[in-house]
Structure formats: structure tokens, C-alpha cells
Amino acid sequence: MDGKKAWKQLWLAYGKKKELGNGKYFENVWLKGFDAEDRVVNSALQELKLGAEGMLGVTPQLGTEAMLCMEKSEKLSPESYSVQENGGKLQILAGDEKGLLYGVFHVLRQVSMEKSLTGISATCTPDNPLRTYNHWDNMDGSIERGYSGKSFFFENDDIVINDRTRDYARLMASIGINGVVINNVNVKQAATWLITDRFFEKVAQLSEVFADYGIKFFLSLNYAATIELGGIDSADPLDERVIAWWKEKMKECFAKIPNLGGFLVKADSEGRPGPFTYGRTQADGANMLAEAVRPYGGIIIWRCFVYNCRQDWRDYKTDRARAGYDNFIQMDGDYAENVILQIKNGPMDFQIREPISPLLGGLQKTNQMLEVQVAQEYTGHQIDVCYLIPMFKEILDFHTYCKPGADTVADVISGRTMGNKNTGIAAVINTGNDENWTGNYLAAANLYGYGRLAFQTSLSAEEILDEWIPMSISSDPEVIKVVKDILLRSRETYEKYTSPLGIGWMVTPHDHYGCSVDGYEYDRWGTYHRADHLGMGVDRSDKGTGYAQQYYEPNASAYNSMESCPEELLLFFHHVPYTYVLKTGKTLIQHIYDSHFEGYDEAEGFAKAWDGLEGKVDAQVFANVKERFGRQLYNAREWRDQVNTYFYRKSGIPDEKGRTIY
């Protein structure tokens, strides 16, 4: 608990910091070219006061000729800012009110990291136009794939607005988030009412809290609302009655929710309704809604997570991995300007290791947004530590080869590849109403890191920790060293003791925590990993499902052959004999044994290293993480033993190091 609040303030805790000559800048503030009454400017001023008082014991006064000047600059684009210190004067120049807010957070970050502001010089323009967090919160208060308590937006089919809502908006703005979707993409009945008179007033009120922090408000939409709310017997996007109903509904929504940015839609997936039911395309569905929101500057974010979850895995040619591309590529260029396709980072579903979705950059004439998952659905449920930013960096840096010179995923989603502006990045959030927001306190590094990376994709995973650790845990160099080491290695460690070389899943069906080698929920035959007594892995080459051919060259050829395929993805792309020798000189089966033993040992090492921080970090944080490590070790041991046993029994090949395998 921080101060009087029943929830932590995370990196905005603003506890006392080393002065380092910083206090003087905050005594007087000169606001030039900005209206102090503007809601976002007011938030920036409030934040400056909170931070300066808490960290430096100084209360800023508005005046002129002050040592801190915050000024509007025509030279800077919207959302951009520049922070400069020269001759004892600190200046925050900003392109607009949001830029000013971000500039203030930048300065407070320096103070919080115990860095001197003297001589500071930084100019920042966000890389991605849209930087959103997606909540999978349900109106009954539950959270789909939530691992840190209940929703703080919803309770008993009602909306909650309180002090925590404002703190949430502050946390989001401090890392540069400019859009939030508050409800689950699986829109259950109660959430359908969010766009009706029953909830308009409260939804508008909630959206206003976000408006104070420059954050656009989005809702997930039930594609079949015409049936569920409109009393029409169809959701066919070409049906005149359907079109008219949505036009009227959107007029109402934008009139009643002033800060509304648009809608997110999951259609034709995992039982959700969609245009396929009526023999129409995804473009027909998205464009119909886009036309209805266009007059109000709204956008439709349409998810590409469309696949047949009833696939028969005994059929070796059908391949879930192909589905996203196959369902969307033919209509490239057919989507309206205010439609953005939101594409999961991999072709499957947020596994610990997947190739990058070939749709990213595969689409050349369509607005795209990348979707990643900060919620640790398949990466340890915020029990196991798994710092995801290195994975997100790999995704952003991936060369799609879609266009010479501007072909990385980061290029595509920033608009650099196609020169488009409706683009960006989204993440499924990992928050809940737990006192520390994220279950495992260390998982807040992902909450923070995603936002910072979305704003500035050139930041490294390490630089982000250099900010987060001193702001959130301690600036003691020893603590920084230990926490950084744990976090930077954690993703590989998790991968080592779970599913090997890109095969994915092997996880308890539905729940997705804990080992179950044959447990993929949509395959009741236990064959999705294709393991037999000779080998394992899915042949996705041109001789198999052909998935590798969905990439541009040279990626397609690289993935197509076992020899050139990146080894960390070998089992995703190929069916490999257990005796196949990897580049390390180890056979596949020995790699499986070794990595599982190593993964467990590394997790044990993390737990011990954390124990060494007792008394050096906040007692509550210490206890929380220690308790999580206890559970992580249990989980890692289970995974190690189950995976090794399974493949020992399948292959009949013993561990060459003679360790106990049951």
C-alpha cells in the first residue's frame, strides 16, 4: 500500500529521491502558449506538483521567468516533446497538450531515476500513432486470462469509477499509452449494453477520466448486436436494415461518449459471430462498421485472429498456422481507410516462441496494428517470472522483406512502410484489482515496458529496465544488478523448461498453466505436436502444410529447409528425428533433456538471488515475489519431469548424462 491508497503506485510512487540539484527547477513554472485550464495541461501540472512534492519536497508555483518553462512549439508534431537544460534553465517544448504531458513524465522519470537534470537534452516523437492496451475484462468483474485479481472497471454487471481509475489513467499516460479498450473482445451479453442507454452515462463518465490524460476510449463490439439489441434477424453486413441500424447506433454512441475513439471487433473466431455466417468477407464486415463511424472520425480495429478451432488435427494438410493469412490476404487493399487490422504477433496464439505472423507486412495496402500479450496467458500466469520485452523487441525488429529499406514489423506498424497514419500497436493487459496491479510485482516491468516500447521502439529491453527498476524497486546498484539479471534471462529460462524449439502449447488445456504434453484443447487426438517414436514437430515446409511459403523471400526458403531454419523454431516448421544433430552438436532429444534440466536450475538460481535481496527491497514486494518464485519452482519441476519423461518413453533414448528421468 502506498500512502493512504489501497493499491500501489508502481513507478509513480514518487517517494523521496536524491536531490542532485533538481529541486530548483520545480519551484516556479512558466506556462507559455498553453491554456492552464485545458484538461490535459491541467493533468500535466497536477502531475508535476505530485512528483516534485513527493520526490524533492518542492511545490511548484505558476509564474513567469521561471527556471522551468513549458512552451508550445510549432516545430514539434502532435504528441512530441523536447526537454532541454541550458544555463540553469529547464525547458519542456511540446507540439500539443499531450506532448506536454509526456514531456512532464519524461522529466519526472529522470528525477525518479535519481538522474540530474543539468544538461539534459532529449527530443521524443512517438514511433507508433496508436498505442493501446486491450482489457479482456467482463462486466461481472471477471477477467479472461486475468492473473491479478478482478476487474477494476466492472463489478456485478456495472461500471466502477473511482480514484483507482484516475491512477490507472496516470500510469497509462506516463508510459505513452493513447488508447484503451476497456472490455473483453468476447463480448458477453451484459457488455452488449455498454452501447445502450442503460450505460451511456457511466461509459461517458469513465471515458472522460481518460480524456484528462489524452487517452482515447474504445469498446469491444458484439458483431451481432443487430440481433441481440436491434431486434433484426440478421447481422449480414450487406443487409440494408443492418447497415441502417449501425449508422443510427454509431450516431448515438459518438454523441453520448465524447471521448470515443472507435471499436475493436473479434468476429468469426472461437464461436463469435461474424460476416462469414452470411457468406460475406471480413472486409465486408469491417467496412460496413467503418462507414458507420466515419462521420465522427471513428476507427474500427478488426482482429485477424480468425481460424477454425474445430480443425481435425489428424488431417496433416490443414494447418491453424495458415489461417490468419489465408483469411485476410486476398482482400488486401479492400479495407476502408478507417479500418485497422489487428494482427497477433504469431500465427498461433502468444506462445513462448512462434515465428512472426506472415500477415504483418504480407498485407501491403492495408492498415495494420501489431497485437502482443502482456498478460501472461502462456508465459507463466504472472506466477512465473517472464520479462516479455526482449520477445517484443525481436518481433519489432523482424525483417519481413515487404519493402526495401522499410521492412521491419516496426516499420510496418509505425506507418513508415506505407506512409499511412492509422497504424500502431496493441497489447492485452496484465492488470487486475490486486493491490500491486499485476499479481507478481515483477510483472509490472512488462506493463511498463510495453508502453515505453510502443512509444519508442528503439529502446532496448535493458534500457527499459534501467528506468523501471530504480523507479519501482530501488536504485541500489546491487538490487538493480540482481533484478536486471533475473528479468533479462527470464524468458529463455521459461522457454527452456516448457515447450521446446517453437512447438508451442504442451500446456494444461483451457487454463494454460502447468504441463500437459498432449493437452492442446482443440485437438482431442493429442497429435498437434506430431510426436511419434522417431521424432516430433510439424512439417510446415512446401512438402508439408506449405505455411513457410506465406513469407517473402528469403524468409520462405530459410524456414523451408531444416538446415537453414532458425533452430529456436525448428519444431514449428519441421518434423525432426530425435537423433537429428543440432548446431550445438547435441541431438534433438538430448537438447530437450538438457534444456529442461537447465531451465529448472536457472529458475532455482533466480529464487536464490531474490532471497539475497531481503531487507534491501520493500518487505511487501520481497514477500510477494518470493511467494511467486516458490510456485514457479514447483511448476518448472513439473514441466521438466513431465516433458523429459514423455519424450524418454516415446523415443526410448536415455539421457546421455544419466540423470534421473522417471
Which residues belong to the active site?
A: 270, 349, 377
Binding track over 474-493 against ligand GCV, x by CB under 6 A: --------------------
Please list the residues that pair with 30 across neighbouring strands.
69
Calculate the CA 165 to chain-centre distance. 20
- What are 222-228's contacts with CB under 8 Å, separation 24+? 222/187, 222/191, 222/192, 222/273, 223/265, 223/266, 223/267, 223/272, 223/273, 223/274, 223/275, 223/285, 224/273, 225/192, 225/195, 225/249, 227/273, 228/189, 228/192
Number of residues located near ligand GCV, criterion CB under 6 A:
10
Give CA–CA dist 577/553, Å, rounded.
27
Smaller CB separation from ligand GCV, 142 or 165: 142
- Residues in 137-166 that interact with ligand GCV by CB under 6 A: 144-145
Q: CB of residue 185 vs ligand GCV: minimum separation in angstroms?
A: 5
What lies within 8 Å, CB to CB, of 566 at 6+ separation is 558
**H or E stretch covering 484:** helix 477-497
- Residues in 345-374 that interact with ligand GCV by CB under 6 A: 349
Question: Which residue has 508451442 as its cell numbers?
Answer: 504
Smaller CB separation from ligand GCV, 170 or 512: 512
Which of the stretches 26-34, 109-117, 178-186, 460-468 binds ligand GCV when contact is defined by CB under 6 A?
Answer: 178-186
Smaller CB separation from ligand GCV, 185 or 621: 185
Q: CB of residue 344 vs ligand GCV: minimum separation in angstroms?
A: 7
What lies within 8 Å, CB to CB, of 175 at 6+ separation is 105, 448, 450, 451, 452, 454, 455
Give CA–CA dist 151/146, Å, rounded.
9
Q: CB of residue 349 vs ligand GCV: minimum separation in angstroms?
A: 5
Question: 411 burial class (0-12, 13-18, 19+ CB within 10 angstroms)?
Answer: buried
Smaller CB separation from ligand GCV, 298 or 346: 346
Which of the stretches 54-62, 182-190, 205-213, 593-601 binds ligand GCV when contact is defined by CB under 6 A?
Answer: 182-190
- Residues in 119-138 that interact with ligand GCV by CB under 6 A: 136
Nearest alpha carbon to residue 28 among 4, 52, 1: 52
Smaller CB separation from ligand GCV, 370 or 464: 370
User: Is residue 332 within the footprint of ligand GCV (CB under 6 A)?
Assistant: no
Q: CB of residue 323 vs ligand GCV: minimum separation in angstroms?
A: 13
- Residues in 254-313 that interact with ligand GCV by CB under 6 A: 266, 270, 305
- What are 285-288's contacts with CB under 8 Å, separation 24+? 285/223, 285/237, 286/335, 286/336, 286/339, 286/341, 287/237, 287/334, 287/335, 287/336, 287/339, 288/237, 288/238, 288/242, 288/243, 288/246
Smaller CB separation from ligand GCV, 26 or 350: 350
User: Is residue 186 within the footprint of ligand GCV (CB under 6 A)?
Assistant: yes
Please list the residues that pair with 368 across neighbouring strands.
341
Smaller CB separation from ligand GCV, 130 or 427: 427
Burial 193-231 (b: 16+ CB within 10 A, else e): bbbeeebbeebbebbebbbbbbbbbbbbbbbbbbebbbe
Q: CB of residue 359 vs ligand GCV: minimum separation in angstroms?
A: 15
Binding track over 32-61 against ligand GCV, x by CB under 6 A: ------------------------------
Beta strands, E only, 256-323: 260-265, 299-303
Q: CB of residue 505 vs ligand GCV: minimum separation in angstroms?
A: 11
Q: CB of residue 320 vs ligand GCV: minimum separation in angstroms?
A: 11
Which of the stretches 118-126, 181-189, 361-369, 555-563 binds ligand GCV when contact is defined by CB under 6 A?
Answer: 181-189
Which of the stretches 184-192, 254-262, 401-409, 497-505 binds ligand GCV when contact is defined by CB under 6 A?
Answer: 184-192
Nearest alpha carbon to residue 309 among 275, 281, 348, 280: 348
Smaller CB separation from ligand GCV, 144 or 284: 144
Q: CB of residue 377 vs ligand GCV: minimum separation in angstroms?
A: 6
User: Is residue 188 within the footprint of ligand GCV (CB under 6 A)?
Assistant: no
Contacting residue, 185, 388, 427, 503, with ligand GCV by CB under 6 A: 185
Residue type, 386: C
Q: Which residues bind ligand GCV (CB under 6 A)?
A: 136, 144-145, 184-186, 266, 270, 305, 349
